[in-house]
Amino acid sequence: MGAGGASTSEAPSDTSSGGAGGSNTSTPVEPDASSDGSTGDPPILFLVEPDGGGVSYECDFLLQDCPAGTKCNIWSNDGGSAWNATKCVPIAPDPDEVGEPCTVEGSGTSGLDTCVLGAVCWDVDPETLEGVCVAYCQGDASNPYCADPETTCEGRDILLCLPVCCPLEQNCVEGQGCYAIHDSFSCAPDASGDLGAFGDPCEYINACDPGLVCLGASWLPCEGAVGCCTTFCFVGSSACSELDPTMECVPWFEEGAAPPGFEHTGACVVPS
């Protein structure tokens, strides 16, 4: 039996079957609901409920149901560092396309950016206020999808089309890591800060250094933590035993369930 996954953004729970990650076999770890990460942009994909009341939805970013000349964007209605609301905002003159650099007004959670309709400025640098335009998913909450096949729809309340990446190659831009989110791997801001090395405690899927993954502590040689950082590995290699003789490289996906190109992706764990 494999290691258990952090490949979901659901709250922690224990199950008992599957491969190293894609089937949620141990303690999945929720994305950080408060950290700014290393870039100042909240590395979360759900709306945080504000202290004064419920989440404020003024529009639907999937449907983009705002009046002409405006778009539906996520923002922080209390001035905080986490998105907790949606609102209609003006579309910038000559807006930036998906994948192009963008800028925001005030902060990464102001909701005011230079991206086109259906996109938001993501991974914003808190000093330069620059980021990159990322598309919202399309469709509806029951069947969201991405028009670009090289991206995957990720998130819980906030659904963004993030690039599919390779955890073994870590082929994301500087400041981001290739993390396990749901049943795929996507680029997201590295929120590890001063921790995130092999064996460090972690609570969130992007709380480990790029190339590492946050898994339930029951699968790893660490105690007293929700999860621990371990490394991705190439199934069949000796990399894990070199780190710790009790560890093995266990496939991330169950046999026959791995997407093309991910058949040899695994994680270093203490097998049960």
Q: Tell me which amino acid residue 56 is.
A: S
Q: Which residue has the tokens 């983009």?
A: 64
The per-residue pLDDT for 157 is 77
- Token digits of residue 149: 């096949």
pTM of the model: 0.64
- Backbone φ and ψ for 52, nearest 5 degrees, come out as -85, 0
Alpha-helical regions (H) of 103-216? none
| 85-90 and 56-57 strand pairing | parallel
Cα of 254 vs its chain's centroid, Å = 22
CB < 8 Å & 24+ apart, contacts of 136-140: 136/61, 136/62, 136/64, 136/160, 136/161, 137/62, 137/161, 138/62, 139/62, 140/62, 140/63
**Closest by alpha carbon to 261, among 270, 252, 269, 249?**
252
3-state secondary structure of 144: coil
Q: Give the chain's residues under pLDDT 70.
A: 1-55, 217-218, 221, 224
The per-residue pLDDT for 17 is 28
Name the residue ranges covered by the structural domains of the chain: 33-136, 165-269
Model confidence pLDDT, tens digit, residues 232-257:
999 999 999 998 898 999 999 988 88
The per-residue pLDDT for 221 is 65
Distance CA 83, CA 75 (A): 5
For the chain, where are the E strands, in sequence order? 56-57, 70-75, 85-90, 101-103, 119-122, 130-135, 151-154, 160-163, 176-181, 184-189, 201-202, 212-216, 227-234, 248-251, 265-269
The per-residue pLDDT for 182 is 73
CB < 8 Å & 24+ apart, contacts of 9-17: 9/45, 9/46, 9/154, 9/155, 9/156, 9/181, 9/182, 9/205, 10/156, 12/216, 12/226, 14/216
Cα of 24 vs its chain's centroid, Å = 16
Cβ neighbours of residue 141 closer than 8 Å, sequence gap 6 or more: 62, 159
The per-residue pLDDT for 229 is 92
